[in-house]
Chain A
Amino acid sequence: MTTPKPTTGLDRLRGLQARGLLEKDHPTVAALLADEALTDTDLLRAGRLLAGLDHDAVLTHHPGTPVVTVAVTGQSTVGRVLDPLRAELARHGLLLRATVGEHGTYVRDLAQPQGSYDLTLCVLDAETVFSEVPVPWRAADAERATTEVLRRLAALAGGFAGLLVLNTVPLLRRYTHQLVDHASRAELGIVWREFNAGLLRLAAAHPAVVVIDLDPLIAEGGPAADPRMAAYAKEQLAAPLLAAYAREVGHLARSLCGRTRKALVLDLDNTLWDGILGEDGPEGIAAAGTLRGEAYGGFQKVVKQLGSQGVLLAVSSKNDEGPVLEVLRGHPDMALRERDFVSVEAGWRPKDGALARIARRLGIGADSLVFADDSPAEREQVRLGLPEVAVVPLDDEPALHVTRLLRDGWFDTLTLTREDRARTGQYRGEGERRALRERAGSHEDFLRELRVGVELGPPRAHEYARLAQLTQRTNQFNLTGLRLRQHELAAVPLLLAARSTDRFGDNGLVGAVAGRYADDGLHLDNLWLSCRVLARGIEQACLSALLAHARERGLPAVYAGFRPTRANARARDFYPSLGFAETGHGGTEGEAVIFRHDLGVIPAIPGHVRIDATQLGSGKDGG
């Protein structure tokens, strides 16, 4: 007798395809691909299957589905990257629209105007260099070729419009060992590392360039190339390496779409320490001093490292709260302490509810959470109850916790800002604000006592990275869904940054305005405000200041647009609430709603907000 194999996410995906429901049920695809039972090969199969997806039909059923446009080019055959890339993007709820260049055409491809692609992947391999090295050759010939390739890429990167994704290039034994003496071999090794370092430096020099380092991917398990595929099909990077590369590109695409996760919620027993607190007692658990304990301690340090870079840490544990807090405060083994967490949910209720409470308390969506737990039952409960949460499967092998946690780069971001590093402190200030809110009689009382100060003005030189990040991470109060990268900010005619403070501290750069002056008035192309400071009157204060400024300048009107996205529905009435009138839908932009303010009655700046400084620019010449 055979027991039937359990139905996997891939089986169910095939079922959807067979019944013609892939497009209609597209929002479930990401959850099906999150099935822990799927192997890497299954994921490739899913990517193949999704090649048949009718994008137009998906977008008809679900107009908000983000589409990522990708151009793929390279020296060699790289078409095989598409299946894994399609699957990786689908895991994050993104649709892939890709075009692939012929092999050997990367220089031509990159020199053409790129405007319409979100990402351009230029896949580099050893042949990119060695196709320019004569036979016979010496290390100095390789150096000439690497210098030339670097020079060419730097020139292409200089005028690049979209985001150009390059990669470091694996050095293969079939090249090093063509040189029989160790001195020459070492020389080639140096040339090659300098080539890769030069590639990595391109990213520092050009904001439009990202370089994916293949070394750590190969270190997880090669080989980097299949000589047969290289010889017969010009496929210079092995298919599994291309798949690992696609996974990294998926993380990048996710962060470009504003889907970088913001908080990591951790179980405790057998996740952060060895043992079960409720059964073994504080003396019976370990995160140091024993072999397994050390492994848990190592995991705690990695979690702390993530926390230091702006990832908010929280706990969801089936335990009594008292003993948990005692351990976090006083147990000698802990690398993580109570102050490292912005929220500790210890109790006996289901974890999906605990995660929802954590998200609410932090003012972020459940789709910003990552949840790590060693218990399959708890993971399943969260997956079913709160499917937007990304779930990291841990098990009873703590030495693998770090690998599993980092496997998906859930928190990957293009650049890290000063605000990121201070974020945990800011959210802890949030706890004090919450206490004030509970003490205060009404929301108005709370706001009055909060003593909000706002400063609105042109960005300072060091603020551009944070501004770009704000546009990419802000979903709820992003009035058109627009996201800008750092190098695109310079092209915005009127760009303003909003910084806020309150009695509990400095909130840093929390908002942005993109606009332009035209003959018919001031056009506000978009507003962004961090969800951390929503509903404190900051958005109203900034708008009032802008309207007053426009009237002072004698402008005829202020125009503003709103385009619904999956997350900004609550901001739909923002402009009307300040006296803007709807003037219709904007021509080609389909669903955008255009508002106009005639500057007759300017809404007052909310009484509890202190505008500390405003500098709104003097027109087309900025200032």
Chain B
Amino acid sequence: MSPDSLGTLDGFLRLVRDDLGLVTDLAGPEAAGCDLTDLPGWDSVNLLRLVTLLEQESGRAMPVGRILEARTLGEIYALVEDLR
């Protein structure tokens, strides 16, 4: 994963797909707007994995509480964007 993989929504979604092993045909805004629990293969541990992953990729501390409250990937991406 390149250092700027979080720079775009597509990069973010690719990270989610590849590293969380989520099998989804959805792309772009459609995937971003989808309720997390409706994503195929989603489970409650995925949010924790995602936080760890985002911190590794960005080298920055994530707002864990807010991410855990997010309902969609789009909301999480917005939180990541705010840190940049």
- Name A's B-contacting residues (CB within 8 A): 41, 45, 48-49, 51-52, 77, 79-80, 82-83, 228-229, 231-233, 235, 239
Listed by A's residue number, 5 A-B pairs whose Cβ atoms lie within 8 Å are A77-B48, A80-B45, A83-B49, A229-B64, A233-B48
- Chain A interface secondary structure, helix, strand, loop or mixed? helix
- Nearest chain A CB to B58 CB, angstrom units: 14
- Say yes or no: A48 contacts B48, CB within 8 Å: no
B44 touches A79 (CB 8 A): yes
Q: How far is the CA of A83 from the CA of B23 in the complex (A)?
A: 16
**Within the complex, which residue of A48, A77, A233 is in contact with B21, where a contact is CB–CB below 8 Å?**
A48
In the complex, residue of chain A having the shortest beta-carbon distance to the beta carbon of B21: A48
Chain B 28-53 against A: per-residue CB contact (8 Å), 1 yes, 0 no? 00000000000001011101110110
**With A and B bound together, what is the CA distance between A49 and B41 in angstroms?**
11
Q: Are A233 and B23 in contact (CB under 8 A)?
A: no
Contact between chains at A52 and B21 (CB < 8 Å)? yes
Q: Which of A83, A233, A239 has the most CB of B within 10 A?
A: A233
Q: Are B44 and A49 in contact (CB under 8 A)?
A: no
User: B residues engaging A (CB < 8 A)?
Assistant: 18-21, 23, 41, 43-45, 47-49, 51-52, 56, 64-65, 68
Q: Closest CB-CB distance, A80 to chain B, in whole Å? A: 6
**Docked CA distance A411–B71 (Å):** 46
Indicate the member of B45, B47, B52, B68 with the most A CB atoms within 10 Å.
B45
- What's the nearest-Cβ distance from chain B to residue A589, in Å? 35
Contact of A229 with B19 in the complex, beta carbons under 8 Å: no
| Distance in Å: Cβ of B46 to nearest Cβ of chain A | 9
Q: CB distance B49 to A41 under 8 Å?
A: no
Q: Shortest beta-carbon distance, A229 to chain B, in Å?
A: 6
B residues less than 8 Å from A228 (CB atoms): 64-65
With A80-B49, A228-B65, A239-B52 given, name 12 new contacts (CB 8 A).
A41-B56, A45-B18, A45-B19, A45-B21, A48-B19, A48-B21, A52-B41, A77-B48, A79-B48, A80-B45, A233-B48, A233-B64
A residues less than 8 Å from B48 (CB atoms) = 77, 79-80, 229, 233, 235, 239
Instruction: Evaluate whether A79 and B43 lie within 8 angstroms (CB atoms) in the complex, with A48-B49, A228-B64, A232-B64 already known.
Output: yes
What is the CB-to-nearest-CB distance from B54 to chain A, in angstroms, rounded to a whole number? 13
B residues less than 8 Å from A45 (CB atoms): 18-19, 21
Tell me the smallest distance from the CB of A351 to a CB of chain B, in Å: 36
Specify the main secondary structure of chain B where it touches its partner. helix
- What is the chain A residue whose CB lies nearest that of B63? A228
A175 to chain B, nearest CB (A): 21
| Chain A residues whose CB sits within 8 angstroms of the CB of B64 once the complex forms | 228-229, 232-233
Also in contact, A232 and B44, with CB within 8 A (given A45-B19, A48-B21): no
Taking the nearest CB of chain A, how far is it from the CB of B40, in angstroms? 11
Q: What is the CB-to-nearest-CB distance from B4 to chain A, in angstroms, rounded to a whole number? A: 15
Bound together, the chains give a CA A49 to CA B22 distance in angstroms of 9
Q: Which residues of A contact B51 (CB under 8 A)?
A: 229
CA of A484 to CA of B19 in the docked complex: distance in angstroms? 39
In the complex, the answer to whether B19 meets A232 with C-beta atoms within 8 Å is no
Query: In the complex, what residues of A have CB within 8 A of residue B21's CB?
Result: 45, 48-49, 51-52
A239 to B47: give the CA distance in the assembly, Å: 13
Cβ A52 vs Cβ B23 within 8 A: yes
B44 cross-chain contacts in A, Cβ below 8 A = 79
| Minimum distance in angstroms from A391 CB to a CB of chain B | 27
Check A232–B45 contact: CB distance below 8 A.
no
Q: How far is the CA of A455 from the CA of B45 in the complex (A)?
A: 56
Docked-complex contact B45 and A79, CB < 8 angstroms: yes
| C-alpha gap A18/B49 in the complex (Å) | 22
Query: Complex formed: what's the CA distance from A553 to B74 in Å?
Result: 78
Residues of A within 8 A of B56 (CB): 41
Task: Give the 4 A-B CB pairs with smallest separation, nearest first.
Answer: A228-B64, A48-B21, A79-B45, A232-B68
Closest chain A residue to B47, Cβ basis: A233
What residues on A are CB-neighbors of B20 within 8 Å?
48
Chain A residues near B23 (CB-CB < 8 A) = 52
Q: How far is the CA of A231 from the CA of B65 in the complex (A)?
A: 9
How many angstroms from the CA of A254 to the CA of B44 in the assembled complex? 29
A77 to B45 CA separation, bound complex (whole angstroms): 9
Question: How far does the alpha carbon of A231 sit from the alpha carbon of B48 in the complex, in Å?
Answer: 12
B31 to chain A, nearest CB (A): 18
Complex Cα–Cα for A235 and B64 (A): 12
Q: Is the CB of A233 within 8 A of B68?
A: yes
A556–B21 Cα distance when bound, in Å, is: 59
Chain A nearest CB: distance from B25 CB in Å?
A: 14
Query: What's the least CB distance linking B47 to chain A, in Å?
Result: 8
Task: Specify which chain B residues have a CB less than 8 angstroms from the CB of A83 in the assembled complex.
Answer: 49
Residues of B within 8 A of A79 (CB): 43-45, 48
Q: How far is the CA of A77 from the CA of B20 in the complex (A)?
A: 18
Complexed CA–CA distance, A239 and B51 (Å): 11
CB distance from B71 to the nearest CB of A (A): 15
Chain A, Cβ-Cβ closest to B19: A45
A409 vs B63: C-alpha distance in the bound complex, in angstroms?
38
Given contact pairs A48-B21, A79-B43, A232 touches B52 in the complex (Cβ within 8 A): no
Closest-CB distance, B57 to chain A (whole angstroms) = 10
CB distance from A231 to the nearest CB of B (A): 8
**Chain B residue nearest to A235 in the complex (CB):** B48
Report the Cα distance A567→B19, complex, angstroms. 37
Q: Which residues of B contact A52 (CB under 8 A)?
A: 21, 23, 41
What is the bound-complex CA distance between A41 and B47, given in angstroms?
Answer: 17
**Residues of chain B with a CB closer than 8 A to A48's CB:** 19-21, 49
In the complex, the chain A residue whose C-beta lies closest to that of B61 is A228
Greatest chain B CB density within 10 A among A49, A80, A228, A229 is at A228
The distance in angstroms between the C-alpha atoms of A48 and B45, with both chains bound, is 11
Chain B: minimal CB distance from A276 (Å) = 41
Contacts of A229 in B (CB 8 A): 48, 51, 64
B83 to chain A minimum Cβ distance, whole angstroms, is 15
Compute how far the CA of A258 lies from the CA of B65 in the bound complex, rounded to whole angstroms. Answer: 44
Query: Please, how many angstroms separate the alpha-carbon atoms of A422 and B20 in the complex?
Result: 48
